[in-house]
Amino acid sequence: MQDVVAAYPTAKVLNGERARFEIRGGSYRLIVAFYFPHQIAFVKFIGTHAEYDAVDALTVDQF
């Protein structure tokens, strides 16, 4: 996860596998779950700040 934050300093680490990114100038939020052993990233959520506030970032699985 340290490499993710090094590449994207505005990313917020949510736990050992999930991170939140602000996209489109901060208008939207993106939650990504990483599976580091196979270098895979799973998009779990994309939405506005209001939509983000309505979900649990650690368990959401929108896609």
Does 60 reside within a domain? no
44 token code pair:
């779990």
The number of distinct structural domains making up the chain is: 1
pLDDT in tens, 9-53: 989 999 999 999 999 888 999 999 999 999 999 999 999 999 999
Does 58 reside within a domain? no
**What is the pTM for the complete model shown?**
0.90
3-state DSSP call for residue 11? Answer: coil
Does 59 reside within a domain? no
Does 24 reside within a domain? yes
Does 62 reside within a domain? no
Cα–Cα distance measured from residue 27 to residue 60, given in angstroms and rounded to the nearest whole number: 19
Report the pLDDT value the prediction gives residue 53, as an integer from 0 to 100.
93
Beta strand pairing call for 18-23 and 28-35 = antiparallel
Residue 21 · residue 4 · CB < 8 Å? no
Range of the domain at 38: 2-53
Sheet of strand 12-13, all strands in order from the earlier edge strand to the far edge = 12-13, 18-23, 28-35, 40-48
Report the pLDDT value the prediction gives residue 48, as an integer from 0 to 100.
96
